[in-house]
Amino acid sequence: MGGGGSEGQYCRATDCAVEHFRGSLRANLIESCSDDGIYVNKGEGLAIAHNTLLDTGGVSVRFSRSDVVLEGNLIDGPVRARDGARIRAGDNFGTTAVELYAGAHPVRALFGDLRAGSLAWAGAPPRGRDAGAAADDLCGTRRPPRAAYGAFEDFTACRAN
């Protein structure tokens, strides 16, 4: 979201101080990236909610104009604010940098057999705080008030659609 490479002629304000304004990134599965799963560069007023990031470099938000709200995400990787960026992290489930350094992957452990490509939960999915009415998940399933962290309630519903 953003990108840092826009030339002035393509921005409302020709200085491109903000490249993405009031955007939303919701209910996505982002997997197996050797870099950041979500990268925000000059993004202001962004909502990043109910995404699942597996085997990525996590979330990186960069530069002082960047302002992001993270809510309900399942993040296998660190969350970093760089160069003056602001992250308002609400209720998310993630892996800390210390856990990664120690070789622990609590997010990956939530799934039965990721190595075989299965995104079925190993047990009951972890659920966030009561968020009230929530939007549909990645698979088109209506989320309950205490939704599972991440992009989906039950990935098998994605295969049915």
Tens digit of pLDDT for each residue in 46-98?
A: 999 999 999 999 999 999 999 999 999 999 999 999 999 999 999 999 998 89
Query: Measuring CA to CA, how many Å separate 33 from each of 62, 81, 130?
Result: 19, 19, 31
pLDDT at 33: 87
10 pLDDT above the threshold of 80 = no
Where are the domains positioned within the chain? Answer: 8-160
* pLDDT value for 160: 72
Enumerate residues 6+ apart whose C-beta is below 8 A from 93.
73, 74, 75, 107, 126, 128, 149, 150
Encoding tokens for residue 69? 């709200």
The mean pLDDT value of the chain amounts to 90
- The set of residues, in sequence order, having a beta carbon less than 8 Å from that of 103 and lying 6+ positions away, is none
Question: Three-state SS string across 46-103, please?
Answer: EEEECCEEECCCCEEEECCCCEEEEECCEECCCEEEECCCEEEECCCEECCHHHHHCC
Question: What pLDDT shows up at residue 69?
Answer: 96
Closest CA to 93 of 51, 142, 134: 51
> What is the mean pLDDT of the segment spanning 96-105?
89
Asked if residue 45 has pLDDT above 70, the reply is yes
CB 149 within 8 A of CB 73: yes
What's the pLDDT at 4? Answer: 67
pLDDT of residue 161: 62
3-state secondary structure of 140: coil
